[in-house]
Homo-oligomer: A and B are copies of this chain.
Amino acid sequence: MSHVMIGLVGVGKIARDQHIPAMTAVSGCQLVATADPHAALPDTPAYASLEAMLDAHPEIAAVAVCTPTHLRYSQARLALMRGKHVLLEKPPGATLSEVEDLMTVADQQGGSLFAAWHSRFAPGVAHARQWLAERRIQRVEIEWKEDVRVWHPGQAWIWQPGGMGVFDPGINALSIATAILPQPFFLRGATLQVPSNCQTPIAAELSFTDAHEAVIEAHFDFRQTGPQTWDIHIETDAGRLDLTQGGCCLAIDGEMVVEAEEREYAGLYGHFAELVARHESDVDVAPLRQVADAFLYGHREMVDAFIE
């Protein structure tokens, strides 16, 4: 498999923390240049715009889009229209409708479009999915509780429309749940707690079910201090599964079967290289659809203002 030559759009925190190290580590990918009006890397050709980067580097075959959500659609579209493959950081768009349109454009242009859900590449996820495939789900408890001040310092966008508040981490849990549960599930009720000075929730209680009336509950909270919790507990007709530490640890009937270091973005870029080689796309909007459903159908309660 030849290397996928990649141009990166948006040199922000997630690009530096995850994308660039992963691209460097994965054998199938190579970072060629970056595009960002405000930021650059020391030893990589840097451009102020996506267009300038693509003009200067015709060898770029794929674009990784790591800009703020509201900018992604037009950048991804431009890249696809210029015959490039596209990887979208999560969530794949500010709205479902624009992601839908990108899927059409990718089909028309023959480019690989990858809506990346990094948590699906956590070490225990594939095994969990396989183990659950043959079982009937009875009860699911999702606990996704972290300290926003630790993980999103100064990131005011998270409290604005499109920032999704506690659903920014919560969508990672939903991306795992929609991948590993053998039946589709859907919201029956939700409470969203929204700080009086914010647009997006700081906590959420979600109650889902599936066609077999499984009880699926999710508890998202951005106010967790001390130990952080990214756990999914599942009871089935034939045993119990615990996927904890964001998917790094998997226990089945109390016995640890996977316990590994997190290297989600390496898995993600490996998968992207395979998609490009196979001329395929991978766009599953289910996690974003679940979030939109929660905003559409959830009950809002006003809670104390959030002061960072």
Residues of A87-123 contacting chain B, CB below 8 A: 94-98, 100-101, 104-105
* Complex Cα–Cα for A160 and B162 (A): 22
Known: A162-B297, A295-B292. A187 touches B286 (CB 8 A): no
| A73 interfacial contact with B, CB 8 Å | yes
Asked whether, in the complex, the Cβ of A186 is within 8 Å of the Cβ of B299, the reply is no
| A298 interfacial contact with B, CB 8 Å | yes
Residues of A268-305 contacting chain B, CB below 8 A: 286, 289-293, 295-300
**B residues near A162, Cβ cutoff 8 Å:** 296-297
A97's nearest neighbour on chain B, judged by CB, is B186
| A184 interfacial contact with B, CB 8 Å | yes
* Complex Cα–Cα for A286 and B188 (A): 21
* Complex Cα–Cα for A291 and B296 (A): 8
Asked whether, in the complex, the Cβ of A296 is within 8 Å of the Cβ of B296, the reply is yes
Asked whether, in the complex, the Cβ of A286 is within 8 Å of the Cβ of B97, the reply is yes
Query: What is the CB-to-nearest-CB distance from A23 to chain B, in angstroms, rounded to a whole number?
Result: 29
**B residues near A100, Cβ cutoff 8 Å:** 184, 286, 289
| A307 interfacial contact with B, CB 8 Å | no
| A236 interfacial contact with B, CB 8 Å | no
Asked whether, in the complex, the Cβ of B286 is within 8 Å of the Cβ of A184, the reply is no
* Complex Cα–Cα for A185 and B77 (A): 13
Asked whether, in the complex, the Cβ of B199 is within 8 Å of the Cβ of A300, the reply is yes
Known: A211-B77, A293-B292, A296-B296. A95 touches B161 (CB 8 A): no
Asked whether, in the complex, the Cβ of A97 is within 8 Å of the Cβ of B290, the reply is yes
Query: What is the CB-to-nearest-CB distance from A180 to chain B, in angstroms, rounded to a whole number?
Result: 16
**B residues near A101, Cβ cutoff 8 Å:** 184, 186, 211
**B residues near A297, Cβ cutoff 8 Å:** 94-95, 161-162
Q: Which of B160, B185, B293, B299 contacts A96 (CB 8 A)?
A: B293
Asked whether, in the complex, the Cβ of B187 is within 8 Å of the Cβ of A289, the reply is no
Asked whether, in the complex, the Cβ of B199 is within 8 Å of the Cβ of A299, the reply is yes
Query: What is the CB-to-nearest-CB distance from A200 to chain B, in angstroms, rounded to a whole number?
Result: 10
**B residues near A161, Cβ cutoff 8 Å:** 190, 296-299
Q: Which of B97, B184, B211, B300 contacts A187 (CB 8 A)?
A: B97
3 A-B pairs closest in CB distance: A97-B186, A95-B293, A292-B292
What are 8 A-B contacts defined by CB distance under 8 Å? A73-B186, A94-B187, A94-B297, A97-B184, A97-B186, A97-B187, A101-B186, A161-B297
Other contacts beyond A96-B289, A296-B296: 16, CB < 8 A? A77-B211, A94-B297, A95-B186, A96-B96, A96-B292, A97-B184, A97-B185, A97-B187, A97-B290, A100-B286, A100-B289, A104-B184, A162-B296, A162-B297, A199-B299, A292-B293
